[in-house]
């Protein structure tokens, strides 16, 4: 033992310091984890705001704790081994450790034990898969269209929710729902696969062309819940955001009432010129306005219904603030400010933009 | 006639080599030195090195793409990249890292090591091996040529239909992707056939299947996975190619197609692919850890059978990539169960590695640090994997940064750490000298810190609702700090990679490390470093698992290893390696025959991108490529694997009598017959 060459020991003496770095890093990462969770994240799946999201979270949390326990155990044993069994300065290189080839009982044990833990996870998980697939009878039904790069919502006639108009309610990007009410979404796409996702209310469900998928939402309380498209859908996938607005009963009634009013056709001034421009500039080729422009051009790309545009807070996939006039004017000047946008406008003069804006403002 | 019509200029045959009787269109190359020898080589070691060098070059490219992605996402509303370019970057990053880095890197290790570890002279089909490499290289270059020919693909490495169709992706990027991956897929298939036959038929006498090193086992399982998975992705790519180039309707929704067809095909390939990427890395650390723990691998049979179990179970979990796709509750439940239980054999591996560390005498070389790093970091990826199996909650995880974190812990913390462990471990065997340990440790710690700083916060932002594949994100989502840290981490990884490159360059002057610098366990350490072209002067025989260890060490009454006074290497090694009792074998190596170099693999490989360009741009180019391919296959087929002329000359020069030329040309058309030192049948009797 004593006759090991001394030059090696010099380098070995440094090792403990080097090896200490690992726990330091782990501690640093843990600190980051804690600060990360503490920060304000409005779209966080860790902060469920409805029964479905809470069910998911309730399945995830115990698994997270089990995983944390396994993590601590495994990393603990690794770190322990690294320190305990590390070759030290002055060790005799020829003195061999016991040549252990294995231990069948132990190995069978650590095959079966994780299997049992996983079986336990399965017992809790599998029934929930089927529960979440059941369709409640008294749900508000909304047809959701995911299209490049915005969301459309159609509420069919449902008198029990105050929707009496024959062709229901059509809106975009902001999904309005009553709080404490199960909502059944029927998801379809005219182009590529999208995924509807409002993390605080439920997980995501793919919106697949040629198929109709159903998905459930429910919010505990009135509020605005952020979400966005979860499946890559092209250039502007990141800009296909959405909001779910949950109302109390009075708020819901107001909204439904407002959405069933047909806007009046403006007859004078800037808004009336805008009304004409809406057709002349081709807007009405894609965008519908109830009572005025109800027929779009054949083969036009899917575009939001603008009947109640100014009842909303955001537009263009919910990435621009509709309450900021500059945002809408910039959009009319150049819809390509949102890369990949399918909206096409010819060159508009500033006067024409003002007129169009004046008309759009009447659509509330 | 076709042969002469499409014969390229004769520059390939120009040079100082004496012209011999031409066989086919080209004079048979003979040189074993210089750059030309690399182009025509059929030596598995040179091919392995070329695979490795090419893969690391692509690693640099894929890394640059990753840095651009992270630069864009460092802050909300990033302006570094146009969204279109961002989409191209993440598409090419994923495609590159999977198909052009980790797969060929593991092909590099498999190529270089399998023959050495099983005591063979070469792989079963050496010229096919060269063909695999060149097809892979040209496939990769073809894919990357899209950067200068109209833009790379931009719909993700998964390329979901119908986004990948010509309506939504009208450029040629995805054509390059479908054709490029079909080409590299041919390389993978050829390699799989070759290495499977090598493992099964070319083992040294006495090396039963359960005496094969774990690396060979894991590589073998991965090759079987490739053999069955590549055809699936090829079908998918072929259908997509027909949709895009010839107006077929396989994924055309308006013609009645269901886009989920693509997802099923893609992930039936895609999930076994994950195990293709990780199992050989598991094999690497299963060699590295016992060597530096100075103990045998804990529970070798469990390690082997858990690897096989993963190989089988890997086929039954693909729908967990599609839990949000609308496959219905029965499918979701079934695949949630399989996904849970595939964690069992993976857990066994982790525990057995820890069992190997336990009460060992751990020597923390850089290779060992990366290997223990894999055990530690892969565990994290495994645990987040179990979380996906909680299928209802997976709808919150899928397509978010939580998934990005998960698979980087598997593929970077797993595969790449394993690859770096393997490079530091086998470098002295391959090049004769070690990479600097001092620089190597900087390399490891930078990578360990950078890796965790990059990918650990992704778990958090993912659960906080940040979707992946998004070119930008707004302020106020609570993701800003984590994204900034991730970007900093990514640049630390880049620094770590530069340290590695510096190490490769600076270590070239390191002294010769000897044949067996780590006092290791498997056959490759019993031959010289680098090994002779024929691998072993004498044919090894295997009486034990870890045969080379048992050559060097006897056991005392307590079962402790005692170094033998005298033992014999398999080749004539350097003097320093003999210092502790090793002797060189006394054997005449001049009668060892190896397959001769060939130009044909390069010709065949060159034809495939031509066909690719032709299909995209103009069919006559595809016609030329087709003729070249025909000529190349014909040339390779008609060419004897051993050049009879070369054999005669060598013998004449060495003063040995010529073997009978008739028997030689008659029997050596089949590569396998010359590659195996003991002949193909030698190991069969011992196979259980």
Per-residue model confidence as pLDDT tens digits over A93-112: 777 898 999 999 999 999 99
Cα–Cα distance for residue pair A64/A50, rounded to 1 Å: 20
Structure tokens at B526: 């019993």
Would residue B200 count as lying in a domain? no
Indicate whether B494 and B575 sit together in one domain. Answer: no
pLDDT at A26: 61
- Residues B352, B315: one domain? yes
Q: Which domain holds residue B544?
A: 523-583
**Which percentage of chain B shows pLDDT scores above 70?**
89
Picking from B455, B484, B513, the residue at the C-terminal end of a domain is B513
Q: Which of A29, A121, A126 sits opposite B456 (nearest CB)?
A: A29
- What pLDDT score does B186 carry? 97
Mean pLDDT value across residues B336-359: 96
Question: Residue B594's pLDDT band (boundaries 50, 70, 90)?
Answer: confident
Per-residue H/E/C for B313-345: HHHHCHHHHCCCCCCCHHHHHHHHHHHHHCHHH
- CATH number, domain at B373? 1.20.210.10
DSSP B24: T
Sheet strands (E) in chain A: 140-147, 150-155, 169-172, 174-178, 183-188, 194-196, 205-207, 213-217, 223-228, 241-247, 314-315, 320-321
From first CA to last CA, the distance across chain A in angstroms is 89
Query: Is the model's pLDDT at B249 over the cut of 50?
Result: yes
- Tell me the Cα Rg of chain A: 30
CA distances (Å), origin B424, targets A113, B83, B294, B368, B421: 35, 39, 17, 9, 5
Distances in Å between the alpha carbon of B539 and those of A332, B118, B325, B437, B569?
Answer: 79, 10, 55, 33, 10
User: With contact defined as beta carbons under 8 Å apart, do B175 and B653 qualify?
Assistant: no
Nearest CB among B155, B324, B449 relative to A206 is that of B324
> Three-state secondary structure along B505-518?
HHHHHCCECCCCCC
- Nearest-neighbour CA in chain B from A278: distance (Å): 28
Residue of B nearest to A121 (CA): B390
Record: contact A204-B396, CB cut-off 8 A: yes
| pLDDT interval class at B461 (50, 70, 90) | very high
Radius of gyration of chain B (CA): 26
pLDDT at A90 over 90: no
CA dist B408 and B687 (Å) reads 38
Two structure tokens written together for B443: 């390399």
Q: Measured between alpha carbons, how far is B515 from B520 in angstroms, rounded to an integer?
A: 10
Mean pLDDT of B79-90: 96
Chain B (287-316) residues lying within 8 Å, Cβ to Cβ, of chain A: 293-296, 298-302
Same domain, B507 and B530: no
Question: Residue A276 in contact with residue A329, Cβ under 8 Å?
Answer: no
CB contact under 8 A, B364 and A64: no
Inter-chain contact B155–A232, Cβ cutoff 8 Å? yes
**Average pLDDT of chain B to the nearest whole number:** 90
Q: Are residues B407 and B479 in the same domain?
A: yes
Instruction: Among B583, B605, B628, identify where a domain stops.
Output: B583
Is B414 within a domain? yes
Query: Which among B83, B293, B363 is the nearest to A339, CB-wise?
Result: B83
Do B531 and B460 share a domain, yes or no? no
Cα–Cα distance, B542 to B536 (Å, whole number): 14
Q: Is residue B48 part of a domain?
A: no
Quick check: helix, strand or coil at residue A169?
strand
Q: Give the rounded distance of the alpha carbon of B432 from its chain centre.
A: 22
* Residue contact B362–A39, C-beta within 8 A: no
Contact status, residue A165 vs residue A202, Cβ threshold 8 Å:
no
Strand partners, A216: A184
How many Å lie between the alpha carbon of B302 and the closest alpha carbon of chain A?
8
Does residue B534 sit within a domain?
yes
Picking from B59, B203, B288, B347, the residue whose alpha carbon sits closest to that of residue A107 is B347
Q: Which residue of A has its CA nearest to B388?
A: A60
B310 is written with which tokens?
A: 């993963």
By percentage, how much of chain B surpasses pLDDT 90?
Answer: 83
By Cβ distance, the residue of A32, A118, A237 closest to B341 is: A118
Inform me whether the pLDDT recorded for B207 exceeds 70: yes
Asked if residue B397 and residue B347 are part of one domain, the reply reads yes
For the four alpha carbons of B71, B73, B77 and B83, in that order, the dihedral sign comes to positive
Residue B119 to residues A41, A268, B211, B213, B427, Cα–Cα distance (Å): 58, 93, 12, 11, 19
pLDDT at B687: 39
Domain-ending residue, one of B557, B583, B609: B583
Please give the structure tokens belonging to residue A195.
Answer: 């995924």
Nearest to B487 by CA among B59, B57, B76, B56: B76
CA B135-B137-B142 angle, to 5 degrees, is: 90
Closest of B282, B415, B413, B420 to residue B345, by C-alpha: B282
Residue B532 sits in the same domain as residue B508:
no
Band (pLDDT 50/70/90 cuts) for residue B685 is very low
Mind listing the pLDDT tens digit for each residue in B470-509? Answer: 999 999 999 999 999 999 999 999 999 999 999 999 999 9
Task: List domains and CATH numbers for chain A.
Answer: 6-131 (1.10.287.90), 140-259 (2.60.40.420), 269-362 (2.60.40.420)
Contact A41 B470 (CB under 8 A): no
Same domain, yes or no: B420 and B566: no
Residues of A within 8 A of B466 (CB-CB) are 43
> Pick the residue with more confidence: B670 or B253?
B253
For residues B499 and B549, membership in a common domain is answered with no
Report the distance separating Cα B522 and Cα B220, nearest Å.
Answer: 17
Residues from chain A that touch B84, judged by Cβ atoms under 8 A, are 235, 339-340
pLDDT band at B591 (very low <50, low <70, confident <90, very high): confident
User: In this structure, are residues B269 and B188 in contact, taking their beta carbons and an 8 Å threshold?
Assistant: no
Residues B463 and B551 in one domain: no
What's the pLDDT score for residue B673?
Answer: 40
Residue B476 lies in a domain: yes
Q: Which residues of B touch A15 (CB under 8 A)?
A: 364
Using a CB cutoff of 8 Å and minimum separation of 24, what contacts does B143-150 make?
B143/B95, B143/B100, B143/B176, B143/B177, B143/B180, B143/B181, B143/B184, B144/B61, B145/B176, B145/B609, B146/B172, B146/B173, B146/B176, B146/B177, B146/B180, B149/B176
Is B362 in Cβ contact with A87 (below 8 Å)? yes
Among A18-22, B294-298, B676-680, whose mean pLDDT is lowest? B676-680
Give the mean pLDDT of B532-545.
94
Mean per-residue pLDDT, B549-570: 91
Contacting residues of B for A59, CB less than 8 Å apart: 390, 392-393
Q: Of A34 and A87, which is predicted with more confidence?
A: A87
Burial (CB count within 10 angstroms: exposed 0-12, middle 13-18, buried 19+), residue B50: buried
pLDDT of A118-133, one tens digit each? 999 999 999 999 999 9
Q: What is the pLDDT of residue A13?
A: 41
Percent of chain A at pLDDT > 70 equals 89
The span from the CA of A259 to the CA of A156, in Å, is 12
Is pLDDT of A16 > 70? Answer: no
Domain count, chain B: 2
Q: Chain B partners of A98 at a C-beta cutoff of 8 Å?
A: 295, 359, 559-560
**pLDDT (0 to 100) of residue A39:** 55
**Do B383 and B464 have their domain in common?**
yes
Grouping H, G, I as helix, E, B as strand and the rest as coil, residue A76 is: helix
Is the pLDDT confidence value at A227 over 50? yes
What is the reported pLDDT for B169? 95
Residue B422's contacts (CB-CB under 8 Å, 6 or more residues apart) are B109, B281, B284, B288, B367
Same domain for B436 and B555?
Answer: no
CA distance readout (Å), B643 to A196, A295, B37, B652, B661: 64, 77, 15, 14, 10
What is each CA distance from B232 to A148, B137, B189, B497, B575, in whole angstroms?
30, 22, 12, 34, 52
Report the pLDDT averaged over residues A226-242. 97
Q: What angle do CA B208, B209, B215 make, to 5 degrees?
A: 125
Tokens 């469990």 -> residue: B302
Query: What is the DSSP pairing of strand A169-172 with strand A150-155?
Result: antiparallel
What letters, b where the CB count within 10 A reaches 16 and e where it falls short, cover A120-134?
ebbeebbebbeebee
Angle at CA B679, nearest 5°, toward B678 and B685?
80
């Amino acid at each position: 033992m004593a006759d090991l060459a001394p030059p090696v020991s010099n380098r070995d003496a440094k090792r403990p310091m080097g090896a200490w770095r690992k726990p330091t890093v782990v501690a640093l990462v843990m600190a980051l984890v804690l600060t990360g969770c503490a920060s304000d994240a409005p779209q966080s799946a860790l902060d469920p705001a409805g029964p479905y999201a809470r069910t998911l979270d309730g399945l995830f949390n115990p698994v997270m704790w089990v995983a944390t326990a396994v993590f601590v155990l495994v990393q603990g044993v690794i770190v322990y081994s690294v320190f305990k069994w590390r070759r030290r300065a002055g060790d005799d290189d020829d003195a061999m450790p016991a040549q252990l080839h294995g231990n069948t009982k132990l190995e069978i044990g650590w095959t079966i034990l994780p299997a049992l833990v996983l079986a336990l996870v399965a017992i809790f998980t599998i029934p929930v898969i089927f529960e979440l697939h059941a369709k409640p009878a008294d749900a508000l039904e909304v047809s959701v269209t995911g299209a490049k790069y915005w969301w459309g919502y159609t509420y069919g006639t449902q008198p029990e929710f105050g929707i009496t108009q024959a062709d229901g309610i059509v809106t975009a990007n902001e999904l309005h729902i009553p709080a404490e009410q199960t909502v059944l979404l029927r998801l379809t796409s005219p182009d590529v696969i999208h995924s509807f996702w409002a993390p605080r209310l439920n997980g995501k469900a793919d919106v697949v062309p040629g198929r109709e998928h159903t998905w459930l939402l429910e919010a505990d309380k009135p509020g605005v819940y952020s979400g966005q498209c979860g499946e890559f859908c092209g250039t502007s996938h990141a800009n296909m955001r959405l909001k779910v607005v949950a109302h109390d009963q009075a708020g819901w009634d107001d909204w439904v009432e407002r959405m069933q009013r047909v806007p009046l056709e403006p007859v004078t001034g800037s808004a009336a010129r805008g009304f004409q421009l809406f057709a002349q500039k081709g807007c009405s080729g894609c965008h519908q306005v109830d009572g005025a422009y109800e027929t779009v051009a054949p083969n036009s790309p899917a575009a939001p219904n603008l009947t109640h545009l100014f009842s909303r807070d955001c537009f263009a996939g919910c990435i621009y603030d509709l309450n900021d006039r500059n945002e809408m004017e910039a959009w009319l000047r150049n819809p390509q400010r949102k890369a990949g946008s399918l909206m096409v406008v010819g060159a508009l003069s500033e006067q024409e933009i003002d007129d169009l804006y004046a008309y759009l403002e009447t659509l509330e | 006639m076709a042969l002469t019509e499409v014969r390229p200029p004769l520059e390939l045959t120009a040079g100082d080599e004496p012209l011999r009787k031409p066989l086919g269109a080209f004079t048979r190359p003979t040189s074993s030195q210089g750059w030309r020898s690399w182009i025509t080589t059929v030596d598995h070691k040179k091919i392995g090195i070329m695979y490795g060098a090419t893969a690391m070059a692509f690693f640099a490219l894929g890394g640059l793409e990753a840095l651009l992605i992270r630069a864009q996402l460092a802050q909300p509303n990033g302006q570094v990249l146009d969204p279109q370019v961002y989409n191209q970057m993440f598409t090419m990053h994923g495609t590159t890292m999977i198909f052009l880095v980790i797969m060929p890197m593991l092909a590099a290790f498999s190529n270089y090591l399998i023959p050495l570890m099983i005591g063979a002279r070469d792989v079963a089909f050496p010229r096919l091996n060269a063909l695999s490499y060149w097809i892979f290289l040209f496939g990769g270059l073809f894919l990357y040529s899209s950067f200068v020919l109209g833009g790379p693909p931009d719909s993700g490495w998964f390329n979901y239909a119908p986004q990948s169709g010509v309506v939504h992706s009208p450029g040629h990027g995805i054509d390059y992707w479908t054709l490029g991956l079909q080409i590299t897929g041919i390389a993978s298939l050829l390699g799989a056939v070759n290495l499977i036959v090598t493992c099964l038929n070319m083992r040294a006498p006495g090396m039963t299947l359960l005496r094969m090193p774990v690396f060979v086992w894991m590589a073998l399982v991965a090759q079987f996975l490739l053999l069955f998975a590549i055809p699936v992705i090829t079908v998918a790519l072929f259908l997509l190619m027909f949709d895009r180039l010839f107006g077929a309707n396989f994924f055309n929704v308006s013609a009645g197609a269901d886009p989920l067809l693509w997802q099923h095909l893609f992930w039936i390939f895609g999930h076994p692919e994950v195990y293709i990427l990780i199992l050989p890395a598991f094999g690497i650390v299963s060699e590295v850890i016992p060597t530096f723990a100075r103990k045998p691998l804990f529970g070798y049979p469990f390690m082997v059978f858990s690897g096989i179990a993963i190989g089988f179970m890997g086929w039954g979990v693909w729908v967990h990539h599609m839990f949000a796709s609308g496959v219905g509750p029965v499918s979701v439940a079934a695949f949630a169960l399989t996904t849970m239980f595939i964690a069992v054999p993976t857990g066994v591996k982790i525990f057995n590695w820890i069992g190997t560390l336990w009460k060992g005498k751990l020597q923390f070389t850089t290779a060992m640090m990366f290997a223990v790093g894999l055990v530690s970091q892969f565990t994290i990826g495994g645990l987040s994997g179990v979380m996906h199996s909680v299928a209802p909650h997976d709808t919150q995880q899928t397509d978010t940064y939580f998934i990005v974190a998960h698979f980087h812990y598997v593929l970077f913390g797993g595969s790449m750490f394993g690859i770096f462990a393997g490079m530091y471990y086998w470098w002295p065997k391959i090049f004769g000298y070690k990479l600097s340990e001092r620089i190597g440790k900087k390399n490891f710690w930078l990578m360990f810190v950078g890796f965790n700083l990059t990918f650990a916060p992704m778990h958090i932002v993912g659960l906080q609702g940040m979707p992946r594949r998004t070119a930008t994100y707004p302020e106020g989502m609570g993701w800003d700090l984590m994204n900034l840290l991730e970007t900093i981490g990514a640049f630390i990884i880049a620094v770590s990679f530069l340290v590695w490159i510096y190490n490769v360059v600076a270590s070239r002057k390191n002294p010769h490390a000897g044949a067996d610098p780590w006092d290791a366990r498997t056959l490759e350490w019993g031959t010289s470093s680098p090994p002779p072209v024929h691998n072993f002067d004498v044919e090894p025989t295997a009486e034990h698992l870890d045969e080379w260890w048992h050559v060097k060490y006897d056991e005392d009454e307590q079962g402790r290893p005692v170094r033998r006074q005298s033992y014999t290497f398999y080749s004539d090694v350097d003097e320093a390696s003999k210092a502790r009792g090793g002797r060189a074998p006394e054997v005449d190596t001049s009668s060892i025959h190896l397959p001769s170099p060939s130009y044909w693999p390069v010709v065949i490989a060159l034809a495939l991108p031509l066909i690719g360009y032709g299909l995209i741009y103009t069919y006559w180019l595809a016609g030329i490529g087709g003729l070249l391919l025909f000529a190349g296959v014909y040339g390779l087929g008609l060419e004897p694997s051993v050049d009879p002329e070369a054999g005669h000359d060598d013998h004449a020069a060495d003063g040995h009598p010529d073997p009978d030329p008739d028997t030689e040309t008659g029997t050596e058309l089949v590569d396998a017959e010359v590659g195996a030192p003991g002949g193909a049948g030698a190991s069969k009797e011992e196979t259980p």
